[in-house]
Structure formats: C-alpha cells, structure tokens
C-alpha cells in the first residue's frame, strides 16, 4: 500500500474520531450537565401565548353621554415555579450586583454586557441555588414594591405563602403595568407577568342601575341591558405570542406575533341622563321624606315610546355592587300590583271612544254605594249626580263603574287588553312582569277592574297606557335602545318606533287629556299642579291584599300618580309609584294625591325647565312648585 495513502487515511480517520468525540461530548453536556437547566426551563417555554382581552362597547345616552365604558387593567401574577428555577435567575441577580457598582449608569451597552457576564460567572461559582433564588426574589419585590408603593416585605410574604401561582396585585392601571414590565425586563427579572383584563366602569353608578345592569367578573352581562345586549357589546379577544431570547426567557416588552382584539359595538339608549338625574334626585328625596319601602318613577316620550328616565328603589351601585342582592330587579318593570284609581282611565276612555258618553254625561253615584245582583260597589265618599269630569275629579268608584257598564263587560276587557294590560310590553330588559287580569267572566271582578282592583299592572304598563292617551290614542312599544353604533361612529342598526295598535280615537284621547287636567285643577291631583303649565293626571291609592288576614289592609298601600305635561301636545308622561310610605304621623292622610302627586309636581317642573318647554300658563307672582313635604 502506498505510504502516502496510509498517511491520508490516518488523518481522515483521526478527523472523524475527533469530530465524533466532540459531538459525543456535546450530547453528554446537553443530557447530563445541562439537564437541570433544560428541565427547569421547559415550563417557561411551554407557555407561549397570552390573551389580549377585547374592550366591551360603550353605552351612551341620547345625547352621547357615556354611561358605561371599559377600563383596561392588569393583574400582576407570580409564577413560583419560575421563581424557584435557579438557572434562569442568574441574569437578574447579576444585574442587581452590577447596578450597585459606582459608574454603572455611565457604561455603554457593550461595557454593561461585559460586566454582567463577569458577574454571572461569579454568581454561578459563589452562590448556591437557594441563595440565588432568595437574591432574585428580594430584587424583584424591591423593584415591584417601589412601583406599586407597597413595602417589599409585604410582597415577599405574599409570594412565599403561595404554592404555584400567586396574584400579587389586581386592578393595576395599564400605564403602571407597562412601567413595571419595562422595569422587570431591563433587569432580566423572571417569574412575574401581567394578565390583562377589562373592567366595566359606570360614571354615574347609581343612575338607572337595574336598567343598565352589570357584568360579572368575567366581563359577561349579568343583568339589565348588559345582559340583553351581551352579544352586541362583547368584542372578540386577541392573542399575543410571546417572544423569547436564545435562552428561552420571556421578553415582556415585545411579542413574536399579535392578533389584535376586536372591540364590541356601542349601544345608544333613549335615556336622557339630565332627566334621569332629576328623577333619581326626586325619588331619593321622596324615599327619605316618606320612609317608603319600594317605588319608581318613569318618564316617557309619548310619541316615540322612548324611555327618557327610569328609576327604581331600592337600587344598587353598579361599580361596587353594593345593594345588588336587594335590588337586582327593577321595581319599574318587575312590580305587579293593583294600582287603584289611576286605572280609571280605561273605563272612562272606553266610554268616550265607544260613543256611549261625553264629558257632560251625568251619572247618579248612589250616595256612597251601588247595589248589583250578588255584590255592592262602595265609594270612598258620598256622591250624588256627577258629570263625566266630576267622576274623574272626585275619583268616584260607583261613577266609573257605571261608565264601564255603558261600555259593556266584554268590551271593557277588550279595551283593557288593548291598552296593554295583562301582557308584557316587549321591553328589552330581562325580568319584565306580565301582570294579571282576574276572571273577566265574573261580574264582581268586572266592577272591581273598572276602578283598579282585580287587575295587577306594572309601572311600565301604566306609562305606556298613559302615553297612548297623550299621543292621540296609539299604544307604543317602549323603546330603550335607539341604535347600535360601530367603533368608527357609523350607525349599524336603528330601532324603529313601534306602533302596536290604535286603542282609542284621537278625539277621545284629546277629551281624556282635558278631563285629566280637571283632576289636577280641582280634584284629587291638585298637588300635582305645575305653576306655568297645564298638567293633567290621575291619582291612585290602592290597599294591598293581605293573605294572612284575607282582606285588603288599610295600613299597606300603593300610591300612584300618572301624569302628562303639557295637556295639549304633551311632551312627556310621568308615572310615580310609591310602595308603603310610613311614619308620617296620625294626621297625615296617605293617598296618591298627598304622596305621589307632589313628587310628580317636582319632577315635571324640573323636567319642563330642563327641556326648555315654553310655559302654557301665566305664572302667578311668587308662585313656586309644590314643595315635597309630607306634612302638607
């Protein structure tokens, strides 16, 4: 064999042996020497993405005032597995030592890298894993505590109590979270990260709380408009793929890939927060003055069905949820009660519409009672002959029953249904009550129904029935949502005004408004008078049925006033309902005219001023709206 060939073969074999030896050594190093770091870093590498929560759409009122919006926030979370993995903590501890040396800040990046590398080598040789972990955690809590203004000892104790994952701090504002992320990243601190979320915020948290509703801790609508429009308000979450360095350590400031979130759509409601503020203010004062149990005030635009304001008591704070358990469903839409004389509009309007009576028609009210086969209708006072308007003004039970008789039992119930009673209005908020009409074939029930008993109604049903009278005889569906708006301001969907049916003729409606005015001028609703304006309305004082004693309780009452202003071409309808006022003194005569009517006067007067409604009457010199005073 050629000697030169032997030499070449020898060197080739030598090169192969050297290469395989180096490769074998690298495999041994990876499998044995670096095995601890490989296993300890696997968890960090497995978590490769995080959710970017979508922002929920805003809720704005008819004037674009924001009444519900989202605020981005973050929770600082400690991963105890990472905090106990010594091999990934050396860079942060090296930075801690290096930053304490004089002149550190004046070094350029290249010089800093040299110093850090030197410190890392020293740390690996000098510190045990246990000491390294302690040094890193002390450094981390020092930096985080400085930003959060929390003692590092407090943070340290909190982290040490955990076993796997510890929520260090919730509700951190986004700008502060970014500042902390930057501080941690610059110092190569590991084991801490932020979980982003969106919190719902209500600038006026006690206004229309049951109507707006709230979201749960996951940001999902739980009640009210937030629940009914969950799919519209909710957006679509995005995704952030984490970026890591060559050692698998997370970069808190940069992302490998981002799928942006999609914001939810905005909802514009018909509420006017200026009117809502008036209603909330007056209802709050009324509850304090009358020591009431429950109640509500509803204000409606009678020509569109728009709910301009809706307040209920008890209510709750949308931000803190204080009072939620007692007030999760709003009295204005969920209460079912016998409303009493405020319901007399049905029989009276039916008589005018059917042509069986006019405003000059006279009936004999029987001087206190009226006998019919099997039952007797009793009046609260002894009245003889009264005109149509007189029956309204005196609120005579026997009088209104006779107008109901003129209409006929079956026709009366048709009108009762046409006005929307005994059926839901179609309101979009969950929890609306239906109401109940007792056996319409029973003549005694028919008599009771004409003056407001034997028919359970909701304040919202009353508001829409009175709106039908105010707008010329058409029952409308209540409208709360005006439109759905995209993030760029484009209107995506408009809620139309929905006319359900004509209930009475326009002429009958106009005559009813004039009769309701007489109630305010000289009847049971005198305290509902609004100086400078022609107002109309009807009082209601209804005793509650007591199941224990099996009769109506004279000490427990629902008090109502249904009103409109001004009488000709009404701009709004207002329904005031107060449940069980108490502690008003023995001399105070509790009734719709003494409790609910004055509240209407205050509310209507303030709304008229707010809406800049021109006065329809001369205001007497020195005249002021009726004061809300339970002693009057």
Residue scoring higher pLDDT (13 or 480): 480
Residue scoring higher pLDDT (574 or 618): 574
DSSP character at residue 52: E
pLDDT digits (tens, 9 = 90+) for 392-402: 999 999 999 99
pLDDT of residue 10: 59
Which residue ranges make up each domain of the chain? 50-239, 273-565+580-610
- Bridge-based pairing of strands 455-457 and 436-437 is antiparallel
Identify the band that residue 164 occupies on the pLDDT scale cut at 50, 70 and 90.
confident
- As its CATH architecture, domain 273-565+580-610 has 3-Layer(aba) Sandwich (3.40)
pLDDT of residue 558: 95
Torsion of CA 469, 470, 473, 474, to 10 degrees: -110
pLDDT at 253 over 90: no
pLDDT at 347 over 80: yes
pLDDT of residue 408: 97
pLDDT of residue 25: 52
pLDDT of residue 465: 98
Average pLDDT on 316-331 reads: 88
The CATH superfamily assigned to 50-239 is: Penicillin-binding protein 2a (Domain 2) (3.90.1310.10)
Average pLDDT on 53-68 reads: 93
Average pLDDT on 81-103 reads: 87
Average pLDDT on 481-508 reads: 96
Average pLDDT on 219-230 reads: 93
Identify the band that residue 235 occupies on the pLDDT scale cut at 50, 70 and 90.
confident
pLDDT at 243 over 80: no
Identify the band that residue 632 occupies on the pLDDT scale cut at 50, 70 and 90.
very low
Residue scoring higher pLDDT (264 or 163): 264
Identify the band that residue 113 occupies on the pLDDT scale cut at 50, 70 and 90.
confident
pLDDT at 629 over 50: no
Cβ neighbours of residue 351 closer than 8 Å, sequence gap 6 or more: 357, 361, 388, 403, 404, 406, 407
> How high does pLDDT run on average in the chain?
88
Identify the band that residue 271 occupies on the pLDDT scale cut at 50, 70 and 90.
very high
pLDDT at 19 over 80: no
pLDDT of residue 581: 92
DSSP character at residue 360: T
pLDDT digits (tens, 9 = 90+) for 406-436: 999 999 999 999 999 999 999 999 889 999 9
Average pLDDT on 441-457 reads: 96
606 CB-side CA count, 13 A: 21
pLDDT at 251 over 70: no
pLDDT of residue 548: 84
pLDDT digits (tens, 9 = 90+) for 436-445: 999 999 999 9
pLDDT digits (tens, 9 = 90+) for 559-573: 999 999 999 999 999
Task: Tell the burial category of 243 from Cβ atoms under 10 Å away from its Cβ (0-12, 13-18, 19+).
Answer: middle
DSSP character at residue 213: -
pLDDT digits (tens, 9 = 90+) for 514-567: 999 999 999 999 999 999 999 999 999 999 988 888 888 888 999 999 999 999
CA distances from 121 to 55, 118, 131 (A): 46, 5, 15
367 CB-side CA count, 13 A: 0
pLDDT of residue 383: 94
pLDDT of residue 631: 30
Alpha-carbon distance of 306 to 315, in angstroms, equals: 22
pLDDT of residue 33: 39
Cβ neighbours of residue 53 closer than 8 Å, sequence gap 6 or more: 72, 196, 197, 198, 219, 237, 238, 261
Cβ neighbours of residue 25 closer than 8 Å, sequence gap 6 or more: none
Identify the band that residue 627 occupies on the pLDDT scale cut at 50, 70 and 90.
very low
Alpha-carbon distance of 217 to 59, in angstroms, equals: 18
Cβ neighbours of residue 585 closer than 8 Å, sequence gap 6 or more: 630, 631
Average pLDDT on 312-326 reads: 91
pLDDT at 304 over 70: yes
Say whether 273-565+580-610 and 50-239 share the same fold: no
Identify the band that residue 36 occupies on the pLDDT scale cut at 50, 70 and 90.
very low
């Amino acid at each position: 064999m050629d000697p030169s060939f032997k030499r070449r073969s020898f060197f080739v074999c030598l090169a192969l042996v050297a290469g395989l030896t180096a490769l074998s050594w690298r495999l041994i190093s990876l499998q044995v020497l670096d095995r601890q770091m490989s296993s300890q870093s696997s968890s960090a590498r497995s978590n490769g993405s995080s959710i970017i929560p979508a922002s929920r759409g805003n809720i704005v009122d008819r004037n674009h005032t924001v009444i519900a919006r989202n605020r981005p926030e973050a929770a600082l979370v400690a991963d105890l597995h990472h905090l106990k993995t010594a091999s990934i903590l050396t860079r942060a501890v090296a930075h801690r030592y290096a930053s304490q040396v004089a002149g550190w800040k004046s070094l350029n990046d290249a010089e800093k890298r040299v110093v850090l590398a030197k410190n890392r080598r020293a740390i690996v040789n000098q510190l045990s894993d246990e000491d390294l972990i302690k040094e890193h955690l002390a450094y981390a809590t020092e930096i985080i505590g400085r930003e959060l203004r929390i003692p590092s000892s407090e943070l340290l104790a909190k982290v040490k109590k955990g076993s796997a994952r510890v929520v260090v701090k919730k509700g951190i504002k986004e700008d502060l979270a970014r500042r902390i992320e930057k501080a941690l990243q610059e110092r190569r601190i590991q084991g801490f990260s932020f979980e982003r979320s969106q919190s719902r915020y209500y600038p006026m948290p006690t206004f229309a709380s049951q109507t707006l509703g709230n979201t749960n801790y996951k940001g999902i609508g739980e009640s009210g408009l937030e629940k009914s429009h969950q799919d519209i308000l909710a957006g679509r979450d995005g995704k952030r793929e984490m970026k890591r360095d060559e050692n698998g350590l997370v970069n808190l400031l940069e992302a490998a890939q981002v799928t942006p979130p999609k914001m939810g759509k905005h909802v514009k409601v018909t509420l006017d927060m200026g009117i809502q503020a008036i209603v909330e203010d007056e209802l709050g004062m009324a509850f304090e003055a009358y020591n009431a149990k429950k109640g509500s005030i509803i204000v409606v635009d009678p020509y569109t069905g728009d709910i301009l304001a809706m307040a209920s008591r008890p209510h709750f704070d949308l931000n803190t949820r204080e009072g939620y358990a007692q007030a999760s469903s709003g009295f204005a839409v969920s209460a079912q009660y016998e409303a009493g004389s405020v319901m007399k509009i049905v029989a009276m309007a039916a008589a005018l519409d059917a042509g069986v009576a006019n405003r000059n028609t006279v009936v004999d009210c029987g001087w206190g009672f009226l006998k019919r086969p099997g039952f007797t209708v009793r009046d609260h006072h002894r009245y003889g002959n009264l005109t149509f308007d007189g029956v309204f003004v005196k609120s005579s039970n026997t009088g209104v029953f006779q107008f109901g008789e003129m209409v006929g039992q079956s026709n009366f119930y048709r009108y009762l249904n046409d006005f929307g009673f005994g059926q839901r209005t179609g309101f979009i908020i969950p929890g609306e009550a239906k109401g109940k009409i007792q056996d319409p074939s029973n003549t005694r029930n028919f008599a009771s129904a004409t003056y407001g008993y034997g028919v359970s109604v909701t304040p919202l049903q009353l508001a829409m029935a009175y709106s039908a009278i105010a707008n010329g005889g058409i029952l409308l569906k209540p409208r709360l949502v005006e439109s759905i708006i995209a993030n760029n301001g484009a209107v995506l969907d408009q809620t139309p005004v929905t006319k359900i049916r004509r209930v009475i003729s326009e002429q009958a409606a106009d005559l009813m408004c004039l009769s309701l005015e007489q109630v305010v001028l000289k009847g049971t609703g005198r305290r509902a008078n609004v100086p400078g304006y022609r107002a109309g309305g009807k009082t209601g004082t209804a005793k509650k049925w007591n199941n224990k004693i099996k009769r109506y309780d004279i000490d427990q009452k629902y008090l109502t006033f249904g009103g409109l202003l001004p009488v000709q071409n009404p701009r709004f309808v207002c329904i005031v309902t107060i449940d069980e006022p108490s502690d008003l003194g023995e001399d105070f005569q509790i009734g719709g005219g003494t409790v609910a009517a004055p509240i209407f006067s205050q509310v209507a007067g303030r709304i008229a001023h707010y809406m800049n409604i021109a006065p329809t009457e001369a205001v007497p010199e020195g005249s002021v709206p009726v004061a809300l005073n339970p002693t009057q």
